[in-house]
Structure 1
């Protein structure tokens, strides 16, 4: 080996960039100190994935101190700024810009400004932001979610340039004082393909009317909006609403969702709640995969006789999962699904007894011969 013979550096730039793209972003950024050429290479990375969440470390870990979160977030800020500010405007397309960070102080705003500046100066195909909170959902108090909600609103208002170009946004543990703020997210983030909420709501009961030209996936888990009306979503293919506590009626309705293929809803049905007819709920869709979850003894979805409306809604249904069906109702549901879905390929049911810990799992795989 000749010390003067740096064989790696003699490789073509596109190969070196490909190698750097396989490294952790922080490690790739460190190569910029090797030479002027390496500094330029690190600015050509097609994917910038900056994650402030420690790998394999839970936020509930007592060994993670408040100071640790500050340092982790600060490192994410520096990595974001370093890699974005040194790129030549418009020269190399960023295929993916993804940032994950903790909602804390001015850190999120600093990251937002860096991402927003990149939106206006760089070619970015996909831009993703994941906003975490220091406390996990099960440890959050009412004061916590109100505080997190206020911080997120400040972040959003200060960094509108970043949000206008996002294609994916995930947020958690937020309560918004202003009822119309959630609607502002849909209006501002016009490029969104995915939007995810975990443990989010508004201070006042809200009927959220959703219209969005690009959104293809919407996920709301453990959220407490009064009602969500999916009025006009021409590209929506997947939607998840899990662990809802319904009011008198199911807090969800479909409008124009012609491409919807996957629907997952888990709801808590109480005695005062009305039964839901799937033919009414899904009448304007052509679902291919349906997941229904029941978190109590009452089934909140009503088995129906096969009607033209139900046949139209279920004509493309291939996969059905029914989770925690109360014991004794499984036969009724099996017959209902088999009659309504002629193209069914898989039926999964978990039957739960609320009088004892017995849980029975049943898999049914169906092969149709066209008869």
Structure 2
């Protein structure tokens, strides 16, 4: 008992600011439990600078989250409300700044409105630097029916109309699985949420597919994933730095355009292109931008990016590029077309390519592919008019799912990139869903040290390059490389 007491004494002897720092690292549920220790701990919990209340963390102990029933979600939502109200009620108005107030909840009954009013009241009485809403639905995207997303849209609109004070102070808002009967709802969100820095939509739509003009003075990041708003025109976003635009399968052409986005640095585009989808010409899309990072995902199907011959316009668009990531390229096709990026981006420093077929996410049945208008030929042909060009800034080449047929491609990049320092060649990526499936093709990744030595000699034969070639398994993925793997 003496030893235990001495440990408690040492913890209690710490100053308040250190203990508050410790509590800030806990989730709200754990931090709130410390208030039962003593009056001092009750006082400390009222000083927290980070209040992150997530309904997902209030799962009943007898239930695993993926199998939570509707009654469980109701209970989780109710706990999130009590957590939000309880933590805010302990605070003395104006005494301590809340650096982050983040709430994640489900659209269900009156619970969201209760949270909205509690957050709105907090904004009126406390200094809050960042306020976030993550609005979830009972059903996940793939489970939602048309009626579901219409009902969820109506529920959100009711919440939005009743909690204008809370929404007006939000700096981050994430919405999923909503369909709005009125086409101006999304515009009204932008008008009301004047402090937004981040806005994210997943599987959201409007009744009429009209052009959505996005204008906002504060937005720095925006994400549209599997949405149907009509054409999205980023008309005036003076602080926008990042955009994610994924899955425009319902549209023949990419329904996205840029207006005044002077600070735009990173663009992510992902689509599963069918045979009738038009190719995307980056020199047109990115004209008048200064994009430094470009992440393009092809979802193991048709290449939808149009290779372009070097022109003054293309050189102007690609000159700011420093990082390019081409993700989920279908297997077995010539990669020569990607060279056009190197030719047009003389300041490119990092080039990442992931080539992979993913059976558990692909349509494999020939009849289903025919009826779904999937492309029989997924690759694209392109011949460089300047085959002997030199690149002086590329220092890093990363290829995931490297196979022996890519040898000539890697050699070409190594020959062109005279200052290349590192070439990272990864084995085929693992997938727990595909583990029990028969591989579409046997891997030709060099399996042993001897094979890798032979492959390294083949890659460098007659090439003067200082690049270090590393063969790595998927278990050895570096943290900075893992970030290039788009979800």
Hey, what's the Cα distance between the residues in 1 that align with 2:300 and 2:251?
Answer: 15
- Give the alignment partner of residue 150 of structure 1, picking from 139, 151, 154: 154
In structure 2, do the counterparts of structure 1 residues 329 and 221 end up closer, same or farther at CA, with 3 Å as the change threshold?
Answer: same
Indicate the structure (1 or 2) with the bigger Cα radius of gyration: 2
Output aligned runs, 1:222-237, within 5 Å: 222-237=226-241
1:243 alignment counterpart: 247
1:67 alignment counterpart: 71
Which deviates the most, 352-361 or 323-332? 352-361
Q: Is the 8 A contact 1:246 1:268 kept in 2?
A: no
- Give the alignment partner of residue 280 of structure 2, picking from 255, 269, 276: 276
Which deviates the most, 268-277 or 192-201? 268-277
1:101 alignment counterpart: 105
Output aligned runs, 1:183-262, within 5 Å: 183-262=187-266
1:18 alignment counterpart: 21
Total equivalences in the alignment: 368
Q: Which runs of 5+ in 2 are unaligned?
A: 358-374, 380-399, 421-487
With the length of structure 2 as denominator, give the TM-score of the two structures: 0.69
SS at match of 2:142: helix
Task: Compare the two structures and name the one with the higher strand fraction.
Answer: 1
- Give the alignment partner of residue 292 of structure 2, picking from 283, 288, 292: 288
Q: Is the 8 A contact 2:58 2:80 kept in 1?
A: no
SS at match of 1:244: coil
Q: Is the 8 A contact 2:303 2:378 kept in 1?
A: no
Hey, what's the Cα distance between the residues in 1 that align with 2:331 and 2:40?
Answer: 68
Task: Compare the two structures and name the one with the higher helix fraction.
Answer: 2
1:46 corresponds to 2:49: yes
In structure 2, do the counterparts of structure 1 residues 26 and 296 end up closer, same or farther at CA, with 3 Å as the change threshold?
Answer: closer
Hey, what's the Cα distance between the residues in 1 that align with 2:356 and 2:12?
Answer: 62
Q: Is the 8 A contact 1:46 1:96 kept in 2?
A: yes
With the length of structure 1 as denominator, give the TM-score of the two structures: 0.89
Hey, what's the Cα distance between the residues in 1 that align with 2:284 and 2:342?
Answer: 19
Q: Is the 8 A contact 2:330 2:378 kept in 1?
A: no
Q: Is the 8 A contact 1:60 1:136 kept in 2?
A: no
Q: Which runs of 5+ in 1 are unaligned?
A: none
1:36 corresponds to 2:50: no
SS at match of 1:343: coil
SS at match of 2:175: strand
Deviation digits for residues 154-197 of structure 1 (CA, Å, limit 9, x no counterpart): 11111111111111111111111111001111111111111111
Shift of 1:68: 1.1
Which deviates the most, 34-43 or 245-254? 34-43
Structure with the bigger RCO (C-alpha within 8 Å, sep 6+) is 1
CA RMSD after TM alignment: 2.9
SS at match of 2:173: strand
In structure 2, do the counterparts of structure 1 residues 360 and 312 end up closer, same or farther at CA, with 3 Å as the change threshold?
Answer: same
Shift of 1:103: 1.1
Shift of 1:338: 1.5
